Structure 1
Amino acid sequence: MSTSAATTSRGLEVRSIDYVPLSERHGKVSHIGPLWFMSNAQIATLATGLISITSGGNLIWSFIAIVLGILIGTFFMAAHSSQGPRLGLPQMIQSRPQFGYVGALLVWLFAYIQYAGFNIFNSVLAGEAVGGAISKEQSSNPLWIWVVTIVAVVIALVGYDLIHTFERYLMYVTVAMLILLTISAVVNIHIPASQFDLSHFNAVAFFGQLGVAAGYQISWAIYVSDYSRYLPPTTSTNSTFQWTFWGSALGGIWVMFLGSWVAVSAKDIGTNTVEDLKHVADLLFPGFGIIALIVAALGLVSVTALNMYGGSLTLISSIDSFVKVRPTLGIRIVTLVVTAAISLLFALFATANFLGDFNAFLLLILYLFIPWTAVNLTDFFIVRKGHYAIAEIFDPKGIYKRWGWPGITAYLLGFVVMIPFFDVAGFYEGPVSKALGGVDISLFIGLPVAAVAYWLMTRHIDVAAEQELAHRQAREIEEAAAAHELP
């Protein structure tokens, strides 16, 4: 058997929502850098760089909005990553101390919607990329959506170690492709001087791009510690944060920049990201477009695998809220198949309207998870300072109770105060956003309100008593693991 006790003799990961004992901790913190770089180095990220350009903004302000949005969103996302080594738990199960054993279903439902939504979009794009590389006529062939889904499920089924290894090696190929693609874009695409004029500021386009970029990064927060939870608990918080932050931020900035650059010259902006990618690649040398699409498709397969893996963990967590789940390989297989089936069904029937509404979907994710990230991080870094009684998280009668009303109330309050600031083109425009001419600053409203509200409502918690219980249970869990009493 390998150094990873997370797998069976068949090489398949068996752990899911359960605690990872110290004897099974392994890996290098540097391995999470390539994983989060690859999470952004794919076609879906390219499409998010179009927002400012399609809204009437110019290139320089699009670049500034992308950088600010990604840095803001990635800061919170990377902070969650540091929870993995400390707790040895997947991300979503960590919501129970704030929202309660049953109350956490509120955020798990939204998380599962996100997994499904991203999987639909990514599998359709990957199918188009594979089809476009083989034959233009096959670009809409549902066969490739099936292939992408099946391969992603296999990767997710093998689990944590294969995901890390796959992303690490794929990064080398992707970086080479992106360097060549960037050279082609810079050399062959003419950008008018007006695109670099700082006096041409469009507030709606700027904040729209900033919000989508931030939302895109924050959307990873719901599963970021899934991929750091096997690291040794001695892994420093700073190193986990840094590898996650810079891996994700650099991948996002690079690819979104490319999206904006290409959008400036595109005749029909954003109508077909796959064709735009192939066209720009072929400008460098004939045939490079096919290579770029194949590499891009592999990137989308890897991201789809991440969503399958996270969706499975979230579904298991949800089931465990009603019926006690024994975390076995069997339950992983069942939940992976269910997650894949849901994503595949919608992907096969996805319309052009769905793909066109992807940006609205990203904003919805931002709205739903800003209050959650505020509550979760405030609890971890300020209220309980990283000390949790692991066994209590799996006990419906434990200290975290069935309903965590401070977390639920703070979340709802944070979300409600954001509503007047929402602006989702074609769907809803809040009164404050309308008064601001369509500018959406809800991110800067909901986050501090939810965080402060949660902190105020948890001042009564006996943190010292919880920490003592956490230390005692940690010793008991490790002793049980050493005695092979854990499943």
Structure 2
Amino acid sequence: MSTAERARSRGLETRSIDYVPLSERHGRASQLGPLWFMCNAQLATLATGLISITGGGNLIWSFIAIVIGVLIGTIFMAAHSSQGPQLGLPQMIQSRPQFGYRGALLVWLFAYIQYAGFNIFNTVLAGESIGGAISESQSDNHLWLWIVTIVAVGIALVGYDLIHTVEKYLMVLTMIVLALITISALVHLRVPPGQFDLGGFHAAPFFGQVGVAAGYQISWAIYVSDYSRYLPKDTPTRSTFNWTFWGSALGGLWVMFLGSYIATSAKDIGENTVVDLKNVAQQLFSGFGPIALVVFGLGLISVTALNMYGGSLTLISSIDSFTAIKPTLRIRIVTIVITAVLSLVFALAATADFLSDFEDFLLLILYLFIPWTAVNLTDYFIVRRGHYAIAEIFKPDGIYRVWAWPGIVAYLLGFAAMVPFFYIGDFYEGAAAKAMGGVDISMFIGLPVAAVAYWLFTRHLDLAGEEELARQQADEIEQAAAAHQLP
């Protein structure tokens, strides 16, 4: 029995950046709903719903902004998810046809920074949540950071199937807790006058909330098809899209709404999300506060596992760009542990200042992925229409080249077009954003610029030739993947 077969017999995932052969495809699109609901039903999402309120907006316009932002962002995210069953590849390796064998390192670097950054934030929040549920002392939080990291590493190592299973059962528990907290908030919190006045519109907090909500959803796009790539190839695109879209959108809307509602009644708006949530839960009945924090802590552990899993795939992809590697269980373990160690070290060193500035850091990272999502989706749905020569993706001298300038230049043009519209708190304010009183519409500029530029730059491609090569290599890629050998 081979090492891969022994690992699979123990329930360990052995694949990473390699193609998933049809013989190993399994599951149904419906399993995506619980996973993406849970990814949004957590404390970081709750904090995302505070943006408009902390910026001076009222509750009704905050709700409207959240709906617009979440729906826009989730459309792009779910579109990426639909790529998984068709290509059988993790999300980031799919960037090679647009950016090149090594050119894709541009987006992989940003992706890895995002994985690490979110993991630091989620690890700290999980430690605070579980530690705060068990003890009022902050001295025990470092111990919980270790525990959170170790448990998340275990889930990530087992891999794809365990991640889906954990999220399925956590969703039921989390929905019960969320429902009870929502009831408590509606019954016990008092919303100040004017919060439902449509005449209280302020552009800056409104567009800030739209942008952050949309960007938060788009941020999942860098690994969304990692969790659909094992589905059978004949899984309807509409099913993959719908289960991803509604799972993520409903989780995001519910929790962001709750965050906004709590923020309007809290005296220390956004100062400590964990404490605010605990206080609201505790008002329903004594002892419910700690229970709620533990449940949300478990949700953060599961999301941390997703970031470790995705970070590992991105790190392996990056290494493979310089030296061809065989994607084995050993390389999975090493890269997951590296990602976990980096996250833990920075989480242990995190200060109050770091956490208060982290929102601006995340916003900058989200800006970096807006032109990427435009290029990737334009290529998949408009230019190549889902037809890729999978074997060529793993060849430095293949048809997708080492550096694919259409994708790189389109990305840079899209990003450059966004810069004048950036508004990142005290860190940076673009000239256009300043002229509009702090209104940030950069996402609505970068997406069309990058998409149109890429479409224009790829008019010369021999798409018929690529499609014919893909058909010729279909058997080759299946045989190579079954033998755990990249072409």
Do Structure 1 and Structure 2 share a fold, with TM-score over 0.5?
Answer: yes
Aligned pair 1:124/2:118, yes or no?
no
Q: Which residue in 2 is equivalent to 1:376?
A: 376
* Residue 33 of structure 1: how far off its partner (Å): 0.5
Write the distance in 2 (CA, Å) between the matches of 1:347 and 1:55. Answer: 27
Q: Is the CA contact 2:192–2:265 (under 8 Å) kept in the aligned structure 1?
A: no
Residue 105 in structure 1 maps to residue 105 in structure 2? yes
Query: Residue 114 in 1 paired to residue 114 in 2?
Result: yes
- Offset of 1:357 from its aligned partner? 2.0
Letter in 2 for 1:126: A
Q: Which residue of 2 aligns with 1:325?
A: 325
Deviations for 1:172-200, whole angstroms, at most 9, x for unmatched residues? 00000000000000010011330000000
Alpha-carbon contact 1:212-1:359 (below 8 Å) kept: no
- Structure 2 letter corresponding to 1:316: I
| 2:385 is the alignment partner of 1:366 | no
Aligned 8 A contact 2:20 2:481 in 1: no
Report the TM-score when normalising by structure 2: 0.97
The residue number in structure 2 matching 1:457 is 457
Contact 1:215–1:365 (8 Å) recurs in 2: no
Question: What pairs with 1:224-373 in structure 2 (closer than 5 Å)?
Answer: 224-373=224-373
1:94 maps to: 94
What displacement does 1:272 show? 0.7
SS in 1 for 2:194: helix
- Report if the CA contact (8 A) 1:132-1:139 is conserved: no
- Where in structure 2 are there 5+ consecutive unaligned residues? none
Partner of 1:192: 192
Contact kept in structure 2, 1:127 and 1:139, CA below 8 Å: no
TM-score, normalised by the number of residues in structure 1: 0.97
Q: Does the CA contact (< 8 Å) of 1:5 and 1:24 recur in 2?
A: no
Tell me the distance in 2 between the aligned counterparts of 1:5 and 1:220.
31
Deviation at 1:267, TM superposition (A): 0.9
Equivalent pair of 2:74/2:218 in contact (CA under 8 Å): yes
SS across alignment from 1:191:
coil
CA distance in 1 between partners of 2:301 and 2:273 (Å): 17
Task: Indicate if the aligned counterparts of 1:103 and 1:408 stay in contact, CA closer than 8 A.
Answer: yes
Task: Look up the equivalent residue of 1:385 and give its one-letter code.
Answer: R
Q: Is the 8 A contact 2:35 2:167 kept in 1?
A: yes
Question: Number of residue pairs matched?
Answer: 484
SS of corresponding position for 1:357: helix
Q: Which residue identity lines up with residue 417 of structure 1 in the other structure?
A: A
Task: Provide the alpha-carbon RMSD of the alignment.
Answer: 1.4
1:49–1:257 CA contact under 8 A, matched in 2:
yes
Q: Does the CA contact (< 8 Å) of 1:212 and 1:362 recur in 2? A: no
Letter in 2 for 1:371: P
1:131-171 deviations in whole A, cap 9, x for unaligned? Answer: 10001114662010110011001000000000000000100
- Supply the AA of the counterpart residue of 2:44: A
1:76 equivalent to 2:112? Answer no
> Percent identical across equivalent pairs?
76
Please give the alpha-carbon distance, in whole angstroms, between the structure 2 residues aligned to 1:117 and 1:379: 28
Distance 2:208 2:246 in 1: 23
CA gap 1:480/1:416 in 2 versus in 1, 3 angstroms? closer
CA distance in 2, matches of 1:233, 1:485: 19
Residues 429-474 of structure 1: per-residue CA shift (max 9 Å, x gap): 0000000000000000000000000000000001111001111111
Structure 1: any 5+ residue segments left out of the alignment?
none
Cα deviation digits, residues 279-325 of structure 1 (max 9, x gap): 00001000000110000000000000000000000000000001111
SS of aligned partner of 1:407: helix
Does 2:395 correspond to 1:395?
yes
Which segment drifts farther, 418-427 or 133-142? Answer: 133-142
How many Å separate the matches in 2 of 1:128 and 1:97?
42
CA–CA distance in structure 2, aligned partners of residues 76 and 409 of structure 1 = 21
Letter in 1 for 2:162: L
SS at match of 1:465: helix
Letter in 2 for 1:453: A
- Equivalent in the alignment of 2:425: 425
3-state SS in 1 of match to 2:137: helix
Take 2:202 and 2:136, find their aligned partners in 1: how far apart are those partners?
A: 37
Shift of 1:366: 2.2
Q: Residue 456 of structure 1 aligns to which amino acid in structure 2?
A: L
The secondary structure found in structure 2 opposite 1:8 is: helix
Aligned equivalents of 2:266, 2:6: Cα separation in 1: 47
Shifted more, 457-466 versus 363-372: the winner is 363-372
The 1:198–1:139 alpha-carbon spacing in structure 2 relative to 1, beyond 3 Å, is: farther
**Other-structure match for 1:470:** 470
Q: CA deviation at 1:480?
A: 4.5
Q: Which amino acid aligns with 1:207?
A: F
* Greater CA drift, 369-378 or 349-358: 349-358
Between the aligned partners of 1:311 and 1:433, the Cα distance in structure 2 is 33
- Look up the match of 1:182: 182
Q: CA deviation at 1:356?
A: 1.1
Whether 1:57 aligns to 2:65 is no
Structure 2 equivalent of residue 214 of structure 1 = 214
In structure 1, C-alpha distance between the alignment counterparts of 2:65 and 2:234, rounded to whole Å = 36
CA distance, structure 2, for counterparts of residue 384 and residue 287 of structure 1: 56
